[in-house]
A and B are shown apart, each in its own frame.
Chain A
């Protein structure tokens, strides 16, 4: 496997400047709660404003309200947003994952309804995959959708669903037959439907975005089925593969890193300066990795192994960044500190372990990569 070296074109660099200028006025430092990468705060108005700028649903087809832009252009926007710790929570899943999934597998009616609303920042999606007994072994899931005259009747429980309490929709995977992989189907689920119960699961840092979603006889119309009956496993795998190679896998701690770099002087201890340089070198390298993968997507390739490999490496780097910064902090940072960067570092210490779990654990990724490598050998 060899990734082609690529850099941003002048027009892509212009886009970066445009986003930076927008953020400087829309989100002046100190006026918003900093977030850790894709786990940013929820701010519907901010998401709508991004939609107005044309920075949501960028890669969706223009005929459905999307931007018709490239994966690299989306990378540029996301890199700037996450570097700033921007409140991306409302639109994150819809923009990265659900929108492209619907664009790829949805009916014309689904695309006409959902895609413009995702691109404008009106809708918020959450992912309904894991269940109490199905984590890494996702194909063992048991929440069942049974065909009825009116559509599908759903019973079961989804868990570890970030943002479900606020989301307008879930993109969920349900069991529609007993065939292990061939018995899974994706559905778009309106979270206000009767029989849906969402309860928050307090997260390790005390926040409440993590949820459990119960389905008790929930009736879902067949027009909300995404793709063919039984095609859910393949669609879901494609969705996961798409989400792995992004900048969000190495950039979570960016606001803290930026603050650290700005706060130390060139006469700081050599080991601290060397740590800073090492972090910078690796951010540069991971930026290149994400960029090459996005370029491949734009060229029509499907770099799933490359993306898995990038995520496996990058998320461990993010965790190491937390260790590096706290090593120089000198004391345990406070979660409720009025200093936003101190509080964010404290949160990172607590939630950092989740980075190598969400979106495919390190162990699962290694198995996927090893399987592909041995196939190629």
Chain B
């Protein structure tokens, strides 16, 4: 269970600093000046990064709480992206600068040859404005390397995701990039999947709470719509999605504290993606027309769920990996019921 000071800080700070209007403003006008600095000042941007690396300390389970809460309140800051970059840089002993950071999720279009890094980085979340961009890739000699890229070496064409948050088109042209040996790119992928699973769980929790409030207040046919069994079924589905996804993310995070946790993370993200889809549908159906408007908060959660569920692996692609690892083995139940799982995936 999380540090209770951190939990209460998160429960107070995020909803007060990022009310729905602030989330909308960030979408329309770009990230609010000062919002990042304030979160950094509170030590919320580098939770889970050791103090010796310039972080706030705490462990992965503390970071899980930050990501859950940031998902619940649709916090318009690159907390997961910064957490991923910081984890990568800390893993190789590189300097972690202040300011928002991000990672390049897909590096297939990049070529690292000696100090020279060039190519198409594809879509990079929150790239514009990042103090540093990190990536894990395999260089032209076949070695795993972590790079820390100066944004001046990037050509950034702004773009946005379905939630209206930055998701830029990026190409790299760096003659001299800082790089270090180590970290399998697959490890970054797993971390990314874990962090997104936590954000999904948070956003489902947010959608569940909002839906509970709405069906208790909204009256039709002379009574609150939450009294109708057909509407209750949607609320129950949201409660279930919230419970199973939150637990899956927490169990995967615990497994990742002590081991590679590939099976657990892939399973958790697959389950999270599946329930993100169910939760979006149930929450919208329970809300009716109001939920379809930009004026109402639900869309801030459901649009994020619609992005996050496909980041770092879709439900299908993650399930395919798990299934491929399990095929031909008499160990389905053992894999599903042992901790750590008997399957590495």
Contacts and interface: CB of A to CB of B under 8 A. Distances in A.
B315 interface: yes
Interface residues of A, number: 54
A331 interface: no
A277 B319 contact: yes
B335 A278 contact: no
Contacts of A1: 239, 242-243
Interface in B141-159: none
A2 to B, nearest CB: 6
Contact of A374 (B212, B326, B333, B338): B212
Contact of A275 (B250, B254, B323): B323
Given A288-B247, A309-B236, A370-B235, A265 B271 contact: no
Contacts, number: 173
Contacts of A13: 338-339
Contacts of B335: 280, 284
Interface residues of B, number: 56
A312 B239 CA distance: 11
Give the one of B236, B268, B326, B341 with max A CB within 10 A. Answer: B236
Given A13-B338, A261-B327, A366 B233 contact: yes
Interface stretch (A3-11, A167-175, A189-197, A221-229): A3-11
Nearest to A262: B330
Contact of A261 (B248, B317, B326): B326
Interface in A163-219: none
A5 B329 contact: no
Nearest to A5: B250
A285 B318 CA distance: 15
A377 B213 contact: yes
Interface of B: 1, 212-213, 216, 226, 229, 232-233, 235-236, 239-240, 242-244, 246-248, 250-251, 253-255, 263-264, 266-268, 270-271, 274, 315-333, 335-339, 341
20 contacts: A1-B243, A3-B246, A4-B1, A5-B247, A5-B254, A13-B339, A266-B327, A273-B320, A277-B319, A277-B326, A278-B274, A278-B319, A280-B335, A283-B337, A289-B247, A292-B247, A309-B239, A309-B240, A309-B243, A370-B236
Interface of A: 1-5, 7-8, 13, 16, 79, 83, 251, 254, 257-258, 261-266, 268, 270, 272-289, 292, 306, 309, 312-313, 363, 366-367, 369-370, 373-374, 377
The 9 lowest CB-CB distance pairs between A and B, nearest first, are A277-B322, A277-B323, A277-B319, A273-B323, A370-B232, A276-B323, A283-B336, A281-B267, A7-B339
